[in-house]
Amino acid sequence: MANEAHLAILHQGVSAWNKWRKEASGIWPDLSGANLAKRNLSNIDFFRTNLNRADLTNTDLSGANLSSADLSETNLSKTNLSKANLSEANLCESYLAKTNLTDANLSEANLTKAYLIESYLSGANLSEANLFRTNLFESDLFRTNLNGANLFKANLTEANLIEAYLIGANLFKATLTEADFSGAKLDDICMDEDCRLKLEN
């Protein structure tokens, strides 16, 4: 459950929240389970914030700092996370249907079993991210940086990976049905024979 004192500060607005974060360095906010749907939280400082199972549906988190935040099992459907910093964030089993992650930084984030159907990740940085068994069905990954990412058993069916960077990525047992890898950088990738045949065709 969310800390009521932390929620009260958040209700004062982004400016008040960010000011408090600067003054209370070393305190990691707990907003777990909070209903923050449809709010404007752009450029907010959620560094190391516990947002486990929070509802962030249709929320504007563009430019937000969510690095090292706990977003596991969080509802982020239709959320605007463009240019957000999600490096090292825990997004395990999160729900990101139709989420905008354009130019977001997800370096070393954990998206194990995350659901990203019809999400927009164009130009996002997912280098070294853990995408084990992530559902990326129909996701827009145009020019996305996936260098060194773990896509083991990920579902990339009909995903747009045109000009994406996948150098050193792990695609072993990934589902690549009708995925578009046109112009993608695929050096030193790890994959099984089925994946290799699909890429060659």
What is the Cα–Cα distance from 151 to 157, expressed in whole angstroms? 13
Instruction: Convert the pLDDT of each residue in 119-143 to its tens digit.
Output: 888 888 899 999 999 999 989 899 9
What percentage of the chain carries pLDDT values higher than 70?
A: 100
Task: Kindly give, in sequence order, each residue whose CB lies less than 8 Å from that of residue 184, ignoring residues fewer than 6 positions away.
Answer: 161, 162, 163, 164, 165, 166
Res. 201 pLDDT band, cuts 50 70 90: low
Average pLDDT on 92-106 reads 93
Record the tokens describing residue 60, joined without a space. Answer: 């504007």
Instruction: Convert the pLDDT of each residue in 102-115 to its tens digit.
Output: 999 999 999 999 99
The single residue listed with the structure tokens 């990934």 is 174
Task: Kindly give, in sequence order, each residue whose CB lies less than 8 Å from that of residue 26, ignoring residues fewer than 6 positions away.
Answer: none
Instruction: Convert the pLDDT of each residue in 152-194 to its tens digit.
Output: 999 999 999 999 999 999 999 999 999 999 999 999 998 888 7
The answer to whether 34 and 17 are in contact (CB under 8 A) is: no
pTM of the model: 0.89
